[in-house]
Amino acid sequence: MRNYRQCLQAWLARRVRGWARRRQGRDGRSVTLDSRRIYIAPTSAGLVFALMVTTMLAGAMNYNNNLGFALTFLLAALGVTTIYHTHRMLAGLRLQLLGAEPVFAGEPLDVRLTLGNDGATAREELHLGWDDATGTPVSVEAHHSRIVHLPLATAQRGHHALPGLRVSASTPLGLVRAWAWIHVDAQLLVWPRPAMEQIEPPYSGASTTPDGRQSAGDDDFGGLRDYRPGDPPRRIAWKRYARSGELLVREFRGGTQATAWLDWDLLPPAGVEQRIAWLTRQVLDAAAAGRSWGLRLPGLEIAPGSGSAQVHRCLERLALAMPTGPAAP
Amino acid sequence: MNRPAAARHAMDRRQVAWAAAAMVFGGAPHLFMVTPWVPLLVLAIALWRILAAARGWRLPSLWIRVPVTVLAFLGVALTYRGVAGVDAGSALLLVMAGMKLLETRTERDRIVVVLIGYFLLFAVLLREQAIWSFAWLVVGTIGITAALAQTVRHERLLPVPAAAVLAARLLLQALPLAALLFVLFPRIPGPFWAMPETRSAGISGLDDQIEPGDIAELSLSDAVAFRVRFEGAVPPAEALYWRGPVLERFDGRRWLALPDATRESAPDRTRVPGPIYGYQLVLEPQGQRWLLALETPLAWSVPHAALGRSLQLQSAEPFAERLSYRARSASGGVTRVEPPPEVLAYNLRLPAGRNPRTLELAAKLRSDSTAARTYLARVLQFLGSGTFSYSLTPPPLGVHSVDDLLFGSRQGFCEHYASAFAVLARAGGIPARVVVGYQGGERNPFGDYWIVRQANAHAWVEAWFDGAWRRIDPTSVVAPGRIASGIEATLAATPVAAERLWRANAFINRMVLSWDAVNAVWDRWVLAFGPEMQADLLLALGFEVPRVTQLTGLAIAGTIGCMLVMGLLLRQAPRRRRDVVALAYASLCGKLAGIVRARLPAETASHYAAAIASARPDLAGEVDALTALYLELRYGAPADPARAHELATRVRRFRPRAAPARR
C-alpha cells in the first residue's frame, strides 16, 4: 500500500517535473527566478490547517459566535498571507552555477552555487536539492549572496550531466511550499576510479633517484622547452630567464630522471574499465613519486611531463577515453 | 553538512517547548472554565515533556499512554456526565492535546499539537465572548502562530522576540482580509445541528416561579441583566417596567407560570394606549426562553420569538448566548386585549383553605365597594396606610403566607406585596396575575444607555377590569421612592452587598460605568453583529432588497481585491538602495550622449571625459569637474551625503547645448 502510494507520488512528481522542464526550457548558468517558474502548493500541514479552519467556521456558524468568526477569518487570512510570504522567499532569487572540481568516480562532486538576494527581505531556509531531494536548508540575508556547496553523488567516469536542481521554501509557517526547478546544461568531469592493485609500469630509464635530483656528471641534458604549469621550479633555467625573460625548463632524456610510459597496450589483458583503472592508479603513483611520465592510449598520446598539470591532463583523457555505454560497469 | 547532533538536539528541545507553549496559549483560560483537574493534568504533562526533551528521557510507550488516555477520557465523561457540549468538549480537547504532547517526536507531531492549540483557543471563545476573550484571542493567536513558525524551522530557531514580531506582523497583514470576511461573510441565523447548551446553572436571574424572598435575594446581585438604548424618546423612570414571566398559578405560597405554547400576534396599536418607545436591547444569557421587553411589545427583531397568551415575548428555544434585538413597546400599563374566558376564570383561582384572614378582609372591603376600580383602590389604600414597611430581609412567612404578611410581620419586599395584592384582587372577584421583571435601570452617561441589573428585579400585578389588563404596582404605595428614585435610594439604609457599597463611592461608580460603556459598545458593534447588521450594511451600500447572494458576491469580490492588493504590497521587490551617485552619473552620460556621443561599454569615466573634452572643449570644464566629483564619491573615502547631493544638483543644472556646427 505504502509502496504503491510512493510509486504513484514519484511518478506524478516525474511527470510534473518533465512538464515544467518542457515549459521552461534549458537554463543558463545564471538564473533569476521569476513568478512564472515558481510553483506553489499547500503542504500536508497546510491541508490540515485548512481543514481546521473549515471546522472552526462550521462551529462559529452553529453557535453564531462572533469571536469564533473573528478567529476563523483571522486564521484563514493568515493562511492566505503566508502564500505571499512563501512565494517571496523564491521570487527574484538569483542562482549561479559556479561548477565543481573533478572527483574520482564514486566520490561526491562538490557543486558550488551562488545564491543572490537582491530583495529587501531575508530568504529564510531555502532547501536546495537535486531532482526531488529536499536538501539542507540555507538562508540568505537581504542584499546579500552566499555560496552553497551541494554534494552530488557520482558513479561513472566521464562527463556527469548536472541533474535538475530544485529550490524550495515553506517559511514562514510551513503551510504552503513554493518551489522552482532549474535545469542547467552543464557537464561536470568525473575521473575514473583508480584500481586498488598496482601494476608497475615499465620505466625507460635505468636507474632512478626518487626525488629526481640531478646527479653530478649528468650529460643527458635533452634541451629546453617552454614552461608548463606544474613543472618543478628547480628545473627552470633561471640563468636563461635572467637573460631573456623567457621561462624555460630543462629537459632530460633518460639519465637519473626516469620517464615512465603508461601504456594501454602494455597492460595485462583486461576489460576497458579495468585498464583505465590501472592507468589511473599508475598516473597517481607516478605523480606521488614525483616522476615524469607519458600516457599512451589507443589513438592518443600525451607527451611525458610531471606535476599536477600533467596529472589533470592525463586523468581528463582517461575519464573521457573510450566512452562507456550506459551498461558499462 | 550534517549539523552536530548536539545542536540538533538543542533545537529539537526548544521546538518541543514551543509546541507546549502553543498549548498553554490555547489552553490557559480553560483553567477557569473546565473542571480543574484537566488543565492541571495537561500542564503537568507539558512540563514533564519539556523536561524529558531537556534530559533526553524516553517517552512513555504505548502500554502507558493508552491506559492513561482512556482513564483521562473516562474521567472527563464522569465529571461532565457525558461528552457532549462545549465544556466537556473543551476538556476532551485538552486531554487529547496533552496525550499528543506525550508522544511528540517528529515535526508532524509538533504541528498537530500547535494546531490543537488554535482549537483550544477557539473553544475559549465559544465559552466566553467578553472583551478579555478578545484580548486573549490576540495574545493567543500571536503566541500560537509564533510557535508554528518555530516548529516548522529546520536550520535555526528565531530568537523569541523575533518569532513574536514575525507572528504579529503576519497577523497584522492578514487583518484587512479577516475584517473583510468578518463583515461580508454571509451570516445565516440559527444553529444547524446542535443547540448551544443552556448554562443556567450559576446564572442568577428571573425564574418562572417565585416564592416570597426570591426577588429580595436577587436584588442583592449587581450582575447586569440587560442593557438598553432608546431610539428617540426615553420613558420616565416610573414607566420603565420590563416585563418578564407572567405568573398565573398560585399555590398558597408560590406563584408559577403556566406552560404556554400559544403564539399570539402583536396587539393592535389602538388597544394599547400610551406612548410608544423604540429601543435596542442586549440581553445577557439567562438560559430561559423569555425575552425582556418594555411593558407591551408591539414589534421585535428576533426571528423565532412570539408573544404568548399573557403577552409575554418569548423565543422558541432557550438561548445561552447574549442576544441583541430591537423592539417597540407601548408603556401605558393598559392592554385592551380580551383573553379567552377560561383564562380570566383561571386568574381568579385561589387555593382552598389558605390565607383565611386575607379572604375575610377581601370580603369586607369588597362589600363596601361596587366597582372593581374602587375595590382595588381601597386595597391599595390599605397597603399604603403606613403600617407596612419595605424590607429586603423580612421575617419568613408560613403556610398562610399572605395572612402572615398582612396581619403578622407587616414587612416585605415587592414580591410579598405583589402576591398579597393579587390574592386580594382575586378574592374580590377581579382576575389578577403577578408579573415578574425589572423596574427602572441606571442611565450610563458615558454611553447614553441604560443598565438594568438583577438588583432591579421587581414584581407587580396586572388586573383585569374595565375591559383591560391594567398594571398595578403595590410597591409604589408601600415604598413610593422605590419606583421614583430606584432601588439604591430606597435601600440606602439596609445592609446590602459589599459590591453595592463599593459602587456608592462616586469615583468608583464612574469607573464602573465607563467600563460598562466600553462593554456596551463591544456588545453592540462586535458581538451583536449578525444578519441584521449585514442587511443594514447592504441597504447603506444601495442594495434595495438585501439578499445573501449579494453578500456572497461582495465577499468574493472583496476577497479577490484584497488578495490583489496583498500581492502588490507583499511582493519581493528588488528594491535597489537608491544610489544617488550612480543615477546622477548615468544622467550626465545620457545628456552627453545626446549631443556628443554615448559612453562606450568599457570606457572608464576619465577616458570618456577626455574624449568629450577633445570633441567639445567648451564643455570640458564642467564635465571634468563633474567626473572628478563622481570618481571621488564612487571610489574615494566614504562620501558624505551632501557631496552626493551636490553632484546630483549640478548634473541636473548642467544643460549642454548641441555643437553650433551641427545646428
At residue B605, the pLDDT reads 87
Residues 6+ apart with CB under 8 A from B229: B279, B280, B281, B447, B448, B449, B450, B520, B524
A271-276 mean pLDDT:
88
Bridge partners of residue B314, in order along the sequence = B290, B306
Q: Taking Cα atoms as reference points, which of B497, B495, B471, B475 lies closest to residue B485?
A: B475
8 A C-beta contact, residue A291 and residue A302:
no
Residue in A74, A120, A137 nearest the CB of B575: A120
Check residue B220 and report its DSSP letter: T
Q: What is the pLDDT of residues B75-113, one digit of tens each?
A: 888 888 877 777 888 888 888 888 888 888 888 999 999
DSSP 3-state of B277: strand
With contact defined as beta carbons under 8 Å apart, do A203 and A70 qualify? no
Does A208 score more than 60 pLDDT? no
Residue entry with cell 394599547 = B272
> What are the tens digits of pLDDT across the range B582-614?
888 888 888 888 888 888 878 888 889 998 888
**Residue predicted with more confidence, B484 or B385:** B385
As a whole number of angstroms, the distance between CA B384 and CA B378 comes to: 10
Q: Is A307 left (phi over 0), alpha (psi -120 to 50) or beta?
A: left
pLDDT at B471: 92
Q: Is A36 on the interface with B (CB under 8 A)?
A: no
Say if A88 is an interface residue toward chain B (CB within 8 Å): yes
H helices of B81-200, in order, are 86-102, 107-127, 131-151, 160-184
Q: What is the dihedral of CA B37, B38, B41, B47, to 10 degrees?
A: -120
CB contact under 8 Å between A143 and B563, yes or no, is: no
Cβ contacts of B642 within 8 Å, gap of 6 or more: none
> Alpha carbon B31 to chain centroid distance?
20
pLDDT at A16 over 50: yes
What does the alpha-carbon distance between residue B530 and residue B523 come to, in Å, rounded to a whole number? 12
For residues A289-297, average pLDDT: 86
- Is B125 part of the contact surface with chain A (CB cutoff 8 Å)? yes
* Interatomic CA distance for residues B220 and A54, integer angstroms: 44
Nearest to B171 by CA among B145, B147, B153: B145
**B5-12 long-range Cβ contacts below 8 angstroms, 24+ apart:** B9/B56, B11/B156, B11/B157, B12/B53
Q: pLDDT tens for residues A142-190?
A: 888 899 999 999 988 989 888 889 999 998 999 999 999 999 888 899 9
| Per-window interface: A 116-175 vs B, CB < 8 A | 118-121, 124-125, 127, 136-139, 143, 149, 151, 170-174
Instruction: Please give the single-letter amino acid code of residue B86.
Output: V
Angle at B184 between CA B179 and CA B189, to 5 degrees: 115
Q: Where are the beta strands (DSSP E) in B158-252?
A: 209-210, 224-231, 241-247, 249-250
B196 — contact with chain A (CB < 8 Å)? yes
CB atoms inside a 10 Å sphere around CB A323: 12
The pLDDT of residue B418 is 92
- Which cell is A200 given? 608497475
- Which of B580-617 are b and which e, b meaning 16 or more Cβ less than 10 Å from the residue's Cβ? bbeebbeebbebbeeebeebeeeeebeebbbbbbeebe
| Residues of B whose CB is below 8 A from A129 | none
A151/B134 Cβ within 8 A: no
How far is Cα A210 from Cα A205, in angstroms, rounded to an integer?
A: 12
Nearest to B134 among A67, A127, A139 (CB): A67
Q: Is the pLDDT of residue B487 over 80?
A: no
Question: Any idea where the domains of chain A sit in the sequence?
Answer: 27-190, 254-320
Q: Is the separation of the CB atoms in B298 and B250 below 8 Å? A: no
- Sheet with A165-169, side-by-side order of all strands: A39-42, A176-182, A165-169, A123-130, A137-140
- What cell was used for B350? 385561589
Distance CA B403, CA B359 (A): 9
- Chain A partners of B530 at a C-beta cutoff of 8 Å? 64, 66
Main-chain phi, psi angles of A271, to 5 degrees: -75, 170
Percent of chain B with pLDDT over 70: 91
Please state, in angstroms and rounded to a whole number, the distance separating the CA atoms of residues B380 and B373: 11
* Cell numbers describing residue B15: 521546538
Contact (CB<8Å) A120/B567? no
Please report how many Cα atoms fall inside a 13 Å half-sphere around the Cα of residue B633, on the Cβ side: 23
Residue B548 has which C-alpha cell? 445573501
pLDDT confidence tier of residue A206, bands split at 50, 70 and 90: very low
Cα B520 from Cα B523, distance rounded (Å): 5
Of A69, A84, A119, the CB nearest to B567: A84
Q: Answer whether the bond into residue B445 is a cis peptide, omega within 30°.
A: no
Question: What is the distance between the alpha carbons of residues B426 and B435, in angstroms, rounded to a whole number?
Answer: 15
* Å between B84 CA and nearest CA of chain A: 14
- pLDDT tier for residue B216 given thresholds of 50, 70 and 90: confident
DSSP for B436-482 reads EEEE--EEETTTTEEEEEGGGEEEEEEEEETTEEEEE-THHHH-HHH
Q: By C-alpha distance, which of B27, B130, B23, B37 is closest to B79?
A: B37
Which chain A residues are within 8 Å of B151, Cβ to Cβ? Answer: 174
Nearest to A90 by CA among B52, B304, B571, B236: B571
Please report the pLDDT score of residue A211 as a whole number.
44
- Tell me the shortest Cα–Cα distance from B607 to chain A, in angstroms: 31
Task: Considering the candidates B30, B400, B414, B416, report the single residue annotated as catalytic.
Answer: B414
Overall size of chain A counted in residues: 329
Position with higher pLDDT, A45 vs A219: A45
A-proximal residues of B, 534-573, CB under 8 Å: 563, 566-567, 570-573
Domain boundaries, chain B: 5-153, 213-507, 580-662
DSSP code at position A36 = G
CA dihedral (B528, B532, B538, B540) in degrees, to 10, reads -70
CB B509: neighbour CB atoms within 10 A? 13
Q: Give the number of other Cβ atoms within 10 Å of residue A51's Cβ.
A: 11
Tell me if B91 sits within 8 A of B34, measured CB to CB.
yes
For cell 471546522, the residue is A55
B305 beta partners = B315
Averaged confidence pLDDT in chain A = 83
How large is the average pLDDT for residues A223-227? 75
Q: What was the pLDDT predicted at B190? A: 62
Active-site residue, from B214, B403, B458, B516: B458
Q: Which CATH number fits domain A27-190: 3.40.50.1820, 3.40.50.300, 3.40.50.2000, 2.60.40.10?
A: 2.60.40.10
pLDDT of residue A84: 94
> Looking at the predicted structure, is the pLDDT value of residue B415 above 50?
yes
Higher per-residue pLDDT: A63 or A222: A63
B279 within 8 A of B294, measured Cβ to Cβ: yes
Task: Please indicate whether, in this complex, the C-beta atoms of A66 and B178 are within 8 angstroms of each other.
Answer: no
Is the CB of A77 less than 8 angstroms away from the CB of B174? yes
Q: Give yes or no: B473 in active site.
A: yes
Sign of CA dihedral A280, A282, A284, A287: negative
| Residue B224 C-alpha, separation from nearest chain A C-alpha, in angstroms | 20
H or E stretch at A16: helix A2-24
Output A159-163 pairs: Cβ under 8 A, ≥24 positions apart: A159/A187, A159/A188, A159/A189, A159/A190, A159/A319, A159/A320, A160/A109, A160/A187, A160/A188, A160/A189, A160/A190, A161/A185, A161/A186, A161/A187, A161/A188, A162/A97, A162/A111, A162/A186, A162/A187, A162/A188, A163/A130, A163/A131
pLDDT band with cut points at 50, 70 and 90 for residue B573 = low
Mean pLDDT of chain B: 83
Q: State mean pLDDT over B421-438.
A: 92
What pLDDT was estimated at residue A215? 41
Which of helix, strand or coil describes residue B157? coil
Res. B37 pLDDT band, cuts 50 70 90: confident
Across chain A, how many H-helices and E-strands are there? 6, 17
C-alpha cell belonging to residue B305: 420569538
Contacts of residue B541, defined as CB under 8 A and 6 or more positions apart, other chains included, come to B554
d(CA B46, CA B23): 8
Grid coordinates of B196: 448551544
pLDDT in the model for residue A202: 64
The reply to whether B63 touches chain A by the CB within 8 Å rule is no
Contact A183, A95 (CB under 8 A): no
The per-residue pLDDT for B485 is 62
In angstroms, the CA B390 to CA B478 distance is 7
Distance CA B211, CA B412 (A): 12
Grid cell 389578577 is found at B432
Least confident stretch, A88-97, B84-93, B428-437 = B84-93
Quick: pLDDT tens for B161-188.
Answer: 999 999 999 999 999 999 999 999 988 7
